[in-house]
């Protein structure tokens, strides 16, 4: 592993067209789980100029039963979608929460998928994974939330700008925005921000003269409020709206689709990604739940001081409950061997979660709840665990992991 290098990560705001799609899809997940904790949802969203389209497969008591919509369900879905777009802040000529055309093409879940995923008490068959795939979790000690610093600061810049937009402190901002942070690392530690890019949609007139200067000054102040002062200097290069005007944005400027920002959602390129998106999927889909539990385990390894960097991979087959493999890589930073950590993690996961099966993950982390909306913008990881939300960010396995590793090193 190199110790001296430049590394870059990007983020996008809640108003980015792909993130609008993610948030709509997860609003549908939350709606259905609020009606039926065992609901099955695979909701994809398309957004473009004055249009939102939903497509996918569902099964949910109180919403879609026996191959038909329950009375009022379609109207409730549309109301939830429009409310989400309104909350993001879209009231523009090209995309307005009240005026866009809405098309709902959700339909019943395939019976062939259901038979592989559902538990069967009579046959003593546990709930199988909703699809095959590989999922990764990662943690490092670069930030207090044990996330890669480049992604962490990219998210925080846009969160700050969105908060100022919603509060009215920065009324010239519009919802769509992107950020990118490049840091120099020395001995594996971030020591300087060499380049920062922010492109933000803005009100008319903020692309020239005094108003443009006001926008640039605001963005630099927002960056300074987020990135530690010791990382910024006269040598930091700022690129603020480098293409010029950015009045047309959001779904009017570019079509958005669920699941197109998976690197932004995870670790900003600092760790592998299995390829599956999270938003729009209920927690029987291991694309989502196994990625969450992998992060949970990796974060607890680092929080326990057992490594300063940790990557975990889980693999599943559709319809099969137990993972096909568990892999740990501490990148040469572990206080115990990676093999010992694999054994410790498997033991702790069994003791504390009931195992790494889809049901064990869902019940152990409490994922069968309408908790996914907040995860659909500014990253699924590195967030604060609060109540039922972001349970995969807890560090409550630290002592159990330490004990399991110590036990593994006891002489026979």
Answer yes or no: is 266 within a domain.
yes
**Catalytic pick from 40, 260, 288, 295?**
260
Contacts of 305 (CB under 8 A, 6+ apart): 335, 402
pLDDT digits (tens, 9 = 90+) for 266-313: 999 999 999 899 999 999 999 999 999 999 999 999 999 999 999 999
Residue 71, domain member (yes or no): yes
Catalytic residue among 10, 18, 131, 174: 18
Cα dihedral sign for 65, 68, 72, 76? Answer: positive
402: annotated active-site residue: no
- Among residues 155, 160, 165, 281, the one annotated as catalytic is 281
pTM of the predicted model over 0.85: yes
**Is residue 333 a contact partner of residue 189, using CB atoms and an 8 Å limit?**
no
Q: Are residues 263 and 298 in the same domain?
A: yes
Catalytic position from the list 100, 136, 185, 246: 246
Q: Percent of the chain beyond pLDDT 90? A: 88
For residues 227 and 357, membership in a common domain is answered with no
> What are the backbone dihedrals phi and psi of residue 389, each rounded to the nearest 5 degrees, phi first?
-90, 140
Of residues 321 and 401, which shows the higher confidence score? 401
**Does residue 131 surpass a pLDDT of 90?**
no
Q: Interior CA angle at 266 toward 228 and 172, to 5°?
A: 55
Which residue out of 40, 82, 165, 178 is catalytically annotated?
A: 178
Question: Which of the residues 261, 288, 359, 362 is marked catalytic?
Answer: 261
Last residue of a domain, one of 249, 269, 303: 249
Instruction: Give yes or no for a contact between 160 and 14, defined as CB atoms under 8 angstroms apart.
Output: no
pLDDT band at 120 (very low <50, low <70, confident <90, very high): low
342 and 330 Cβ atoms separated by less than 8 Å: no
- Among the listed residues 59, 285, 359, 402, the single catalytic one is 285
Judged against a pLDDT cut of 70, whether residue 111 lies above it is answered with no
Q: Which of 44, 131, 159, 393 is catalytic?
A: 44
pLDDT band at 121; cut points 50, 70, 90: very low
Residues 263 and 397 reside in one and the same domain: yes
Determine whether 16 is an active site residue: yes
Answer yes or no: do 241 and 263 share one domain: no
pLDDT value for 119: 56
Average pLDDT, integer, range 19-33: 98
Is 260 considered catalytic here?
yes
Catalytically annotated residue among 38, 55, 57, 184: 57
- Asked which of 204, 230, 249 is the last residue of a domain, the reply is 249
Q: What is the mean pLDDT of the chain?
A: 94
Is 342 within a domain? yes
- Average of per-residue pLDDT across 349-367: 95
Nearest Cα residue to 271 out of 327, 322, 226: 327
**CA–CA gap between residue 53 and residue 77 (Å, rounded):** 12
The helix (run of H) or strand (run of E) holding residue 41 is strand 40-48
SS3 sequence, 75-143?
HHHHHHHHHHHHHHCCECCCCECCCCEEEEEEEECCHHHHHHHCCECCCCECCCECCCEEEEEEEECCC
CA nearest 30: which of 74, 67, 84?
84
183's enclosing H/E stretch is strand 173-186
Of these residues, 10, 19, 162, 176, which one is catalytic?
A: 19
Domains: count for the chain: 3
The phi, psi pair for 141, rounded to 5°, reads: -95, 25
| pLDDT over 70 at 392, yes or no | yes
156 and 226 Cβ atoms separated by less than 8 Å: yes
Which residues constitute the domain of residue 325? 133-141+259-408
Task: Encode pLDDT of 209-228 as tens digits.
Answer: 999 999 999 999 999 999 99
Kindly state whether residue 122 falls inside one of the protein's structural domains: no
Among this protein's residues, is 254 annotated catalytic? yes
Q: Is 246 one of the catalytic residues? A: yes
- Among this protein's residues, is 247 annotated catalytic? no
Average pLDDT over every residue of 173-179: 98
Residue 318 pLDDT:
87
For 351, the token pair is 């003791």
Is position 18 annotated as part of the catalytic site?
yes
Task: Name the active-site residue from 7, 16, 84, 298.
Answer: 16
Contact 73, 28 (CB under 8 A): no
Looking at 189, 217, 249, the residue that finishes a domain is 249
Tokens at 217, concatenated: 């000054």
CATH number of domain containing 395: 3.30.300.10
Q: Is 254 a domain residue?
A: no
Q: Provide the percentage of residues in the chain whose pLDDT is more than 70.
A: 95
Query: Which is it for strands 51-59 and 40-48: parallel, antiparallel or unpaired?
Result: antiparallel
Residue 191 and residue 94 share a domain: no
Measured CA distances, 190 to 12, 56, 195, 219 (Å): 22, 42, 13, 22
Q: How far apart are CA 139 and CA 55, in angstroms?
A: 34
d(CA 100, CA 336): 56
380 domain-assigned: yes
Residue 44 annotated as catalytic: yes
**Residues in a beta bridge with 120:** 125
Same domain, 137 and 282: yes
Is 136 annotated as catalytic? no
Average pLDDT rounded to a whole number, residues 82-98: 97
Q: Which of 38, 254, 338, 342 is catalytic?
A: 254
pLDDT at position 122: 47
Tokens of 377: 């913008």
């Amino acid at each position: 592993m190199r110790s001296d290098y430049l590394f870059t990560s990007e983020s996008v705001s809640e108003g980015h067209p792909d993130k609008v799609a993610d948030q709509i899809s997860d609003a549908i997940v939350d709606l259905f789980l609020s009606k039926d904790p065992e609901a099955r949802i695979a909701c994809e969203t398309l957004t473009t100029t004055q249009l939102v389209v939903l497509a996918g497969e569902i099964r949910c008591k109180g919403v879609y039963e026996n191959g038909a919509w329950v009375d009022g369900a379609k109207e409730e879905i549309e109301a939830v979608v429009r409310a989400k777009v309104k909350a993001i802040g879209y009231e523009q000529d090209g995309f307005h929460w009240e005026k866009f055309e809405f098309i709902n093409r959700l339909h019943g879940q395939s019976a062939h998928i259901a038979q592989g995923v559902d538990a069967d008490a009579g046959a003593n068959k546990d709930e199988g994974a909703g699809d095959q795939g590989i999922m990764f979790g990662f943690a490092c000690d670069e930030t207090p939330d044990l996330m890669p610093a480049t992604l962490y600061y990219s998210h925080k810049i846009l969160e700050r700008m969105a908060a100022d937009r919603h509060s009215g402190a920065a009324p010239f901002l519009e919802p769509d925005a992107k950020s990118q942070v490049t840091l120099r690392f020395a001995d594996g530690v971030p020591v300087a921000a060499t380049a920062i890019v922010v492109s933000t949609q803005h009100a008319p007139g903020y692309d020239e003269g005094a108003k443009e200067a006001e926008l640039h000054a605001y963005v630099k102040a927002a960056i300074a409020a987020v990135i530690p002062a010791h990382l910024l200097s006269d040598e930091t290069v700022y690129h603020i709206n480098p293409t010029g005007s950015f009045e047309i944005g959001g779904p009017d400027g570019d079509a958005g689709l669920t699941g197109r920002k998976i690197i932004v959602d995870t670790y900003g390129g600092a760790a592998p990604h299995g390829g599956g998106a999270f938003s729009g999927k209920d927690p029987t889909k291991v694309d989502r739940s196994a990625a969450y539990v992998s992060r949970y385990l990796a974060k607890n390894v680092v929080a326990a001081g057992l490594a300063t960097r940790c990557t975990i991979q889980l693999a599943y087959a559709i319809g099969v409950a137990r993972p096909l493999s568990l892999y740990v890589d501490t990148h040469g930073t572990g206080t115990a061997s990676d093999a010992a950590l694999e054994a410790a993690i498997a033991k702790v996961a069994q003791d504390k979660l009931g195992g790494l099966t889809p049901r064990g993950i869902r019940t152990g982390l409490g994922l069968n709840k309408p908790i996914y909306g907040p995860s659909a913008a500014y990253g699924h990881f590195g967030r604060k665990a609060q109540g039922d939300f972001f349970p995969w960010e807890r560090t409550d396995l630290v002592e159990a992991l330490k004990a399991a590793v110590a036990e593994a090193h006891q002489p026979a």
